Amino acid sequence: MIADFLRALGQMGDPRFRSVLLRGVGLTLALLVGLGVSVFYLVDWIIPDTLTLPRVGEVNWVDDFASGASILLMVVLSAFLMVPVASAFTSLFLDDVADAVEAEHYAHLPPAPRVPFSEAFGDSLAFLGVLILANLAALVLYIFFAPFAPLIFLGLNGFLLGREYFQLVAMRRLGRAGAKAARSRHAGGIWLAGTLMAVPLTIPVINLLVPILGAATFTHLFHRWEASAPTEDAFG
């Protein structure tokens, strides 16, 4: 497993990897900036320049305060959402990462069918929702089991990341039903490898590379784990 991770890490300079990263981060920044600007102008439109309050009279600073508060709120939300949103956007293009790994290390295989964009988009949205909700729910566990919070974080996100990236890679070769069956066969290894992927989530900037590194690592893991499985039909 460590060898697969290092092989993926060694290919991080691949131009196809950089292209996926730039597209994912670019779309994330565009979305967050667009959302922030929209919220700012919405607040500015809803709150009048001057308010008349009982026993106070005219107040002309509420709109400025609300606009400033909306900017601060969006900055905080952006810091929280940057990584999961970037992961979701980047996931739309992870087929390119798996293709690059297979072209480099598994050139004997026929090209894998591309997952339809609409299907990939739906899967990415579902993963983003689960990732955010699960981590919000885990805040309760962090509070009550504070000494074990790092282990809970790694275990939870390791499970989610491993499931997502293995499914993405396996589905290209085995289809959705075949990928689900393969996931059951290798559940323990997938969770352990996902936990390895979750470690960089705690490192700013580096955490943006997790989807690409995860997809590349799980491409190697999938081919190694399934090498002895009866997948001749799927691989052509």
155-168 pLDDT, tens digit each: 998 898 899 889 98
Tens-digit pLDDT profile for residues 200-224: 877 777 787 888 888 899 999 999 9
228 has a pLDDT exceeding 50: yes
Q: Within its chain, how far is the Cα of 48 from the centroid?
A: 39
- Residue 173 identity (one-letter amino acid): R
170 has a pLDDT exceeding 60: yes
Tens-digit pLDDT profile for residues 92-133: 788 889 999 999 999 888 888 887 878 878 888 888 788 888
User: Of all residues in the chain, what percent carry a pLDDT higher than 70?
Assistant: 85
- Give the CA dihedral 176, 115, 102, 186, nearest 10 degrees: -20
DSSP state of 228: T
DSSP state of 106: -
70 has a pLDDT exceeding 70: yes
User: Could you tell me if 47 and 63 are in contact, meaning their C-beta atoms sit under 8 angstroms apart?
Assistant: yes
Tens-digit pLDDT profile for residues 128-140: 788 888 888 888 8
Closest CA to 84 of 140, 28, 4: 28
Predicted pLDDT at 190: 94
User: Could you tell me if 97 and 16 are in contact, meaning their C-beta atoms sit under 8 angstroms apart?
Assistant: yes
Domain boundaries, the chain: 2-25+82-235
* Local confidence band at 230 (pLDDT 50, 70, 90 cut-offs): low
Does the predicted TM-score (pTM) go above 0.85?
Answer: no
Task: Round to whole Å and give the CA distance between 10 and 101.
Answer: 11
More confident residue, 231 or 221: 221
* Local confidence band at 55 (pLDDT 50, 70, 90 cut-offs): low
Predicted pLDDT at 229: 62
Task: Round to whole Å and give the CA distance between 214 and 94.
Answer: 9
Task: Round to whole Å and give the CA distance between 96 and 211.
Answer: 12
More confident residue, 12 or 81: 12
Task: Round to whole Å and give the CA distance between 131 and 120.
Answer: 16
Predicted pLDDT at 48: 66
